[in-house]
Structure 1
Amino acid sequence: MKKSFVGATIFGLFSLLWGGAIAPAFAQSDEALVSHKVMTPEIAMELAQATLKACRKADFQVGVAVVDRFGILQAFVRDRYAGVHTPDTARQKAWTAVSFRTDTAALEELVKSGELTQNITQIKNAMMVGGGVQVLAAGSLVGAVGVSGAPGGDADDDCARKGIETIQDKLEF
């Protein structure tokens, strides 16, 4: 019984994503190939370093991961006293933000409110805790930044947003 509930939940989420976000993108294009924008490695590293700097100003020792629009790690920095868990947690937060096309603080609230079931947290690599923030360029997803190590997801999220602000002008096309 439990297995079918998990399957139904994942199917429901897939249906929601397909019907609400993914399907229109496919329906609008009949072309065999698509093109998309991605951050350069230099911009990804600049974002990671700016985010680390924002956390340091708040006296937080963190790890910062930047992934591309497909969830693949582009850059990572870890402050010298950040916890051993921060590399994996930061990457998972960034991966979750691009995978679900939603910031992880919002996903955390949806799980807490019951709008998304707790079972969604069982998806491999999903981290439904604040600190994973999408990076958008002219409204298009180009990646995400994940932060781990500040005292709480809200603080991680704040650092991520401050880091994104420092490079946002370079992303507009």
Structure 2
Amino acid sequence: MVFKRLADLGGWIALGLFAGMAPVQAADVVTTKNIGLELANQIAMASVEACRKDGYQVSAVVVDRNGNLRSAMRDDLAARFTLQIAQEKANMVVMSGLKSGEFRKLRADIRPELNHIDGLIVMEGGVPITAAGARIGAIGVSGAPGGDKDEVCAMKALESVQDRLDFAE
């Protein structure tokens, strides 16, 4: 009798396990957070202004979480190609989820190959944009004498809007 009850119990447990193993299906509608145009423009401009204060003429590009261009600003005397480099730095952040300089340090082994992919460059100066724990985009800055200086300008811009990012819905 005890064995029969255990067998019945085992059957119920097995049934419960199989029920929990139902195939996972993709949702028909997916809701995500993404950066809005006004915030993207403000972050790009704040980056340019931060670099200006340090005497650098740069370009700043903000992309959304999928790498789509949201804002691009080139300071008056910044070189033309700084726009492209800034966008490619931001795209590197979208691809890796890390600051572009951090990714460069961690994955020096594949940097040459990634630099041959259209739209990516593995250089310092790209930073993720996170709102309320969700990555909503990235910023890339280019034109200062060194990617470390580009990154400082991007970080200053993000600090200027940190309250908005922390409490975004």
TM-score, normalized by the shorter chain, greater than 0.5: yes
CA deviation after TM superposition for structure 1 residue 120, in Å? 2.5
Figure out how many residues of one structure are paired with residues of the other and give that number.
Answer: 145
1:79 corresponds to? 75
1:101 corresponds to? 97
CA deviation after TM superposition for structure 1 residue 117, in Å? 5.2
1:44 corresponds to? 40
One-letter amino acid of the structure 2 residue matched with residue 101 of structure 1: G
Query: Conserved in 2, the CA contact under 8 Å of 1:47 and 1:66?
Result: yes
CA distance in structure 2 between the aligned counterparts of 1:109 and 1:171, rounded to whole angstroms: 27
CA distance in structure 2 between the aligned counterparts of 1:28 and 1:140, rounded to whole angstroms: 23
Query: Structure 1-normalised TM-score?
Result: 0.78
2:155 to 138, 161, 172: 161
CA distance in structure 2 between the aligned counterparts of 1:154 and 1:108, rounded to whole angstroms: 12
Structure with a larger share of its residues in helix: 1
Look at both structures and tell me which one has the larger radius of gyration over its CA atoms.
2
CA distance in structure 2 between the aligned counterparts of 1:81 and 1:99, rounded to whole angstroms: 30
Query: Structure 2-normalised TM-score?
Result: 0.79
Cα distance change on mapping 1:28 and 1:59 into 2, 3 Å: farther
CA distance in structure 1 between the aligned counterparts of 2:82 and 2:106, rounded to whole angstroms: 24
Matches within 5 A, 1:13-92: 30-92=26-88
CA distance in structure 1 between the aligned counterparts of 2:119 and 2:89, rounded to whole angstroms: 8
Query: Conserved in 1, the CA contact under 8 Å of 2:104 and 2:111?
Result: no
Query: Conserved in 2, the CA contact under 8 Å of 1:48 and 1:163?
Result: yes
One-letter amino acid of the structure 2 residue matched with residue 141 of structure 1: R
Cα distance change on mapping 1:56 and 1:29 into 2, 3 Å: farther
